[in-house]
């Protein structure tokens, strides 16, 4: 509904249906962590949808237009940008996304990272000509920086992929005002690579790095595919993920934004570290063994005293 509509009310209704449809999938396990994730997701998305409705009503109040492409009032554009950033999980509205992804099953996490981001990105695509380029660029740089920085010390694979998603959203947003087709290309390729990573992790039942270390002995071919997909997501040159980054850097340079291109490229190096760490863990062919030294620490028990 959101993707095909031209009227703001229909787009808002589509976003609400989108939110309500995924909530049962997040809270399916009835675990307290899943319920917490569902509550966080619902509150954030409800707030963002309310802001979308408020921005469209403000625009209609001043211009008399309910068409999505006729968003011309500056305040409405500012509120809309914030609302969509909140829906996508961009900095500074990113806090909910890693927590929700961590509390969801892998298949639901896949939906949250890919399909659920399509309607907000479509709204950005349709309104890109009226959004503030400076605000989008600042949010994009911050997303790329924080997505790389926060992913460094994570041991849970889902959280690493959440910060990876935030970092990729930075790349999508920085080019939106200048060449929105590159934003869609980046999103499609990101969706394709994330799909294969989540499905592979779901097949070999991996949720954290310590489990990933022993995955090669269970499924060598899947671990090899996971390695290549992770390196592609990192944007290393021979692989598919390098294409959108290359095109975005090229377009930013054409728009006399070489410093921004340099900054976002340097911040993507932070992400490269944790992608390589995941790839390294996926390719360890021998599982780690516990030493006798470790066992001795557990064997010493304090002498019990009788009262």
220-270 residue pLDDT tens: 888 889 999 999 999 998 899 999 999 999 999 999 999 999 999 999 999
The strand pairing partners of 67, in sequence order, are 7
Mean residue pLDDT across the chain: 89
Residue 75 lies in a domain: yes
Cβ neighbours, 10 Å, residue 304: 5
Q: What is the Cα–Cα distance from 251 to 151, expressed in whole angstroms?
A: 27
Q: What is the Cα–Cα distance from 211 to 208, expressed in whole angstroms?
A: 6
Q: What is the Cα–Cα distance from 117 to 190, expressed in whole angstroms?
A: 11
User: Dihedral of the CA atoms 255, 260, 264, 269 (nearest 10)?
Assistant: 110
Side-chain half-sphere of 11: how many Cα atoms within 13 Å?
A: 31
* Contact criterion met (CB below 8 Å) for 8 and 56: yes
- Residue 205 and residue 242 in one domain: yes
**Nearest Cα residue to 96 out of 107, 83, 86, 108:** 86
Residue 251 lies in a domain: yes
- Residue 273 and residue 143 in one domain: yes
Q: Is the pLDDT of residue 286 over 90?
A: no
- Residue 121 and residue 144 in one domain: no
* Contact criterion met (CB below 8 Å) for 163 and 150: yes
Residue 297 lies in a domain: no
* Domain count along the chain: 2
Q: Please give the pLDDT value at position 7.
A: 87
Task: State the average pLDDT over residues 62-78.
Answer: 88
Residue 291 lies in a domain: no
pLDDT in tens, 88-104: 999 899 999 999 999 99
Q: Which two tokens stand for residue 256?
A: 């006399």
The domain of 224 spans 131-286
Q: Please give the pLDDT value at position 238.
A: 87
User: Dihedral of the CA atoms 82, 88, 90, 92 (nearest 10)?
Assistant: 50
Q: pLDDT-based confidence at 306, cuts 50/70/90?
A: very low
- Residue 252 and residue 224 in one domain: yes
From residue 23, give the alpha-carbon distance in Å to each of 41, 121, 149, 234.
8, 20, 29, 30
């Amino acid at each position: 509904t959101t993707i095909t509509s031209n009227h703001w009310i229909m787009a808002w209704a589509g976003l609400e249906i989108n939110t309500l449809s995924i909530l049962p999938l997040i809270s399916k396990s009835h675990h307290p962590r899943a319920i917490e994730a569902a509550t966080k997701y619902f509150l954030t998305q409800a707030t963002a949808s309310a802001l979308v409705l408020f921005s469209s009503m403000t625009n209609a109040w001043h211009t008399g237009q309910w068409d999505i492409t006729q968003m011309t009032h500056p305040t409405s554009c500012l509120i809309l940008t914030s609302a969509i950033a909140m829906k996508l999980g961009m900095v500074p509205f990113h806090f909910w996304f890693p927590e929700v992804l961590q509390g969801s099953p892998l298949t639901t996490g896949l939906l949250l990272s890919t399909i659920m981001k399509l309607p907000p990105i479509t709204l950005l695509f349709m309104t890109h000509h009226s959004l503030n380029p400076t605000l989008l660029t600042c949010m994009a740089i911050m997303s790329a920086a924080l997505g790389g920085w926060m992913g460094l010390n994570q041991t849970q694979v889902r959280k690493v992929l959440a910060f990876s998603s935030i970092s990729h959203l930075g790349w999508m947003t920085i080019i939106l005002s200048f060449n929105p087709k590159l934003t869609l290309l980046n999103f499609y390729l990101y969706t394709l690579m994330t799909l294969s990573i989540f499905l592979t992790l779901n097949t070999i039942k991996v949720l954290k790095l310590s489990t990933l270390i022993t995955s090669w002995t269970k499924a060598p071919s899947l671990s090899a595919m996971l390695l290549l997909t992770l390196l592609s997501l990192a944007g290393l040159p021979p692989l598919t993920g390098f294409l959108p980054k290359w095109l975005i850097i090229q377009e930013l340079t054409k728009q006399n934004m070489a410093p921004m291109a340099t900054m976002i490229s340097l911040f993507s190096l932070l992400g490269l570290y944790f992608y390589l760490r995941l790839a390294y863990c996926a390719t360890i062919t021998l599982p780690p063994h516990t030493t006798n030294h470790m066992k001795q620490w557990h064997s010493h028990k304090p002498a019990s005293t009788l009262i």
